[in-house]
């Protein structure tokens, strides 16, 4: 994906809410809370430095990194680099955040299973100071 025109076979979507995201984030529902499969699927593109707030999912979350490089962290654990082609698993109720690295845009598919248990609980922001002082181990 180049810096001017993100390439994806899925729709880029609309600007995500500044209440839950920092920076330029676009999200598109690919599958809304489906009653048969009990899941929601989103295509999410984070511009450089953009990220989610801390949050949890009652049934966990699966990220399929499509392009670029990102960062993610489960509370109390080291920050992890995410690269295209990786699958990232967040266990149920694990407090975490994810987004682009400071140097690269990142696009992922977010799969939220078992939505009958709920979708997401949003928490505090990952501040600019925290984000820019990240040490990846």
6 in any annotated domain: no
55 in any annotated domain: yes
49 in any annotated domain: yes
99 in any annotated domain: yes
Q: Under DSSP, is residue 115 helix (H, G, I), strand (E, B) or coil?
A: helix
Token pair 């140097």: residue? 103
54 in any annotated domain: yes
Work out the percent of the chain whose per-residue pLDDT is above 70.
Answer: 94
116 in any annotated domain: yes
Taking 80 as the threshold, does the pLDDT of residue 16 lie above it?
Answer: yes
Summarize pLDDT for 59-109 with one digit per residue, the tens: 999 999 999 999 999 999 999 999 999 999 999 999 999 999 999 999 999
Establish how many alpha carbons lie within 13 A of residue 34's alpha carbon, considering only the half-sphere containing its beta carbon: 13
Residue 67 pairs in a beta bridge with 107
What is the CATH number for 33? 2.60.120.10
Q: Structural domain tally of the chain? A: 1
Identify the domain containing residue 81 by its residue range.
14-123
129 in any annotated domain: no
Cα–Cα dist 33/52, whole Å: 20
18 in any annotated domain: yes
Q: Under DSSP, is residue 91 helix (H, G, I), strand (E, B) or coil?
A: coil
Q: Under DSSP, is residue 116 helix (H, G, I), strand (E, B) or coil?
A: helix
Q: Which residues contact 17 (CB under 8 A, 6 or more apart)?
A: none
């Amino acid at each position: 994906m180049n810096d001017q025109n993100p390439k994806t076979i899925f729709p880029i979507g609309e600007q995500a809410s500044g209440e839950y995201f920092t920076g330029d984030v676009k999200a598109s529902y690919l599958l809304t809370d489906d009653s048969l499969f009990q899941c929601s699927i989103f295509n999410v593109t984070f511009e450089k430095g953009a990220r989610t707030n801390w949050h949890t999912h009652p049934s966990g979350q699966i990220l399929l990194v499509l392009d670029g490089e990102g960062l993610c962290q489960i509370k109390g654990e080291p920050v992890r680099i995410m690269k295209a082609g990786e699958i990232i698993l967040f266990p149920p109720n694990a407090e975490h955040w994810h987004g682009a690295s400071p140097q690269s845009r990142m696009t992922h598919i977010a799969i939220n299973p078992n939505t009958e248990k709920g979708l997401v609980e949003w928490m505090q922001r990952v501040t600019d100071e925290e984000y820019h002082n990240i040490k990846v181990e």
